[in-house]
Structure 1
Amino acid sequence: MKNTIMGLLIVALSLFSVVRATSLYEVGDSNGWTTTVGLDYYKTWSSSKTFYVGDVLIFQYNKTFHNVMEVSFQDFESCNPNSPLTTYHSQYEPVILNRTGHYYFICGLPGHCESGQKLDVLVMPASLENTTPIIQPNNASSSNPSPKPLEDPLEVLPVDDATIATLPYNAGSSLCVWSGLSMLSSVLLQALVFL
């Protein structure tokens, strides 16, 4: 019984350090998903960021003029829209990055991919070593480097109310989650003391 409670205590305490916020990226920042930004815009945009498993891409576009297709590397390179892995048609398309490796996206309308409406995203595994701030710069350009990962994940960064309002919901930041984990740890410690 003592080993079981000690194991549960270790699991509960480890949950405190495992919580990692999901980052939400608006593809193309304020430009969105379009053909009007140039040939290398999305390449520059994605290379200035580090993506992790669990992060979310948001494609915003006019569905009358564009779409989003996830394609293979070969179809990405040749701008071939004929055998997409997935096709999206809404004006506000969230795509969850749920695996490591490259994701390849193109607009499948004629000439759009060839004019630069294509995106290659490399996704890294989520881990404690790869913790990044959840605030991603909006309206970023190639002259603004992306923020560096935090050295100390407990570092408190000053933010204003407008920034806080833009943050995605993270269950790990919920007072209920932290209160529940604190109570569980307390109960397990008390049980351990009485054994």
Structure 2
Amino acid sequence: MVGGRSRHVVAFLLMAAMGFLSTSAAHHKTHIVGGSYGWRIPNTTTFYQDWADARDFAVGDQIVFLFTTMVQNVVELSSAEDFAGCTTNNVIDIHFRGPTILELTAAGPQYYLCSVGLHCENGQKLSINVSSTPHPDVDLAYHNQAPAPAPIPPAAASAAAVRAEHGGAFAFAASSLGLCLLLPFLV
């Protein structure tokens, strides 16, 4: 009888730990840059900055750049001067395949632009300030909602975007499934 109780306690603690891990991911947001407009030359040069100014970004969040491969790109910059002048002297990374999903791993200002043609000069650039403070506990349905983007070309790309937008739910489902498969061996 004592051995049976200890297995139940272990199973309970395992479920509690998995629940804690899956809910801690709920404090991170996924931001689709430009909303349903995506990442392309905007109608105004302030479009992406206006979009970013209405949002809060924190370490652990993801930003998703929805764009067509070989038509746009995403250049990560380390310099405010490069950002302001649409130059690429201090590049951290360049992403050529859309959509691009980036995790925000450091607090402070971060700069992105498209280096194709005059896209940056025409407003296809984004500057955000990432906070080290996590988001308060918010309703997942609220912060993940964004208008449906235009169709994403390759099937793999849409799967990646779905994983990015619903990663917490998938992680919880996967951990719950793993627990269900493991539970009979614990009892």
Structure showing the higher helix proportion among its residues? 2
The answer for unaligned runs of 5 or more in structure 2 is: 1-12, 149-162, 180-187
Q: 1:131 to 1:92 in 2, by over 3 A?
A: same
Aligned residue number for residue 115 of structure 1: 122
Aligned residue number for residue 107 of structure 2: 100
Q: Give the C-alpha shift of residue 83 in structure 1.
A: 3.4
Identity %: 26
Contact 1:70 1:105 in 2 (8 A): yes
Q: Distance in 1 between matches of 2:112 and 2:49?
A: 11
1:151-186 deviations in whole A, cap 9, x for unaligned?
A: xxxxxxxxxxxxxx9951227744846x97xxxxxx
1:24 aligns with 2:30: yes
Normalised by the length of structure 1, the TM-score is 0.62
SS in 2 for 1:121: strand
Q: 2:131 aligns with which of 111, 124, 132?
A: 124
Q: 1:47 aligns with which of 46, 53, 61?
A: 53
1:80 aligns with 2:78: no
Contact 1:69 1:106 in 2 (8 A): yes
Aligned residue number for residue 184 of structure 2: none
- Segment of structure 1 superposing worse, 168-177 or 96-105: 168-177
Q: Distance in 1 between matches of 2:82 and 2:164?
A: 35
Q: Structure 2 counterpart of 1:122, which letter?
A: N
Contact 2:30 2:62 in 1 (8 A): yes
The answer for unaligned runs of 5 or more in structure 1 is: 1-8, 141-164, 181-195
Contact 2:59 2:107 in 1 (8 A): yes
Contact 1:76 1:106 in 2 (8 A): yes
Aligned residue number for residue 36 of structure 1: 42
Normalised by the length of structure 2, the TM-score is 0.65
Q: 1:136 aligns with which of 135, 141, 144?
A: 144
Number of aligned residue pairs: give it: 150
Q: Give the C-alpha shift of residue 23 in structure 1.
A: 1.5
Q: Distance in 2 between matches of 1:167 and 1:44?
A: 22
Q: 1:169 aligns with which of 157, 167, 170?
A: 167
Q: Distance in 1 between matches of 2:101 and 2:36?
A: 16
Contact 1:20 1:131 in 2 (8 A): no
1:64-118 deviations in whole A, cap 9, x for unaligned?
A: 2211001121100111024311100001100110111111001112311111101
Q: Distance in 2 between matches of 1:169 and 1:23?
A: 10
1:40-59 deviations in whole A, cap 9, x for unaligned?
A: 11011111111111111111
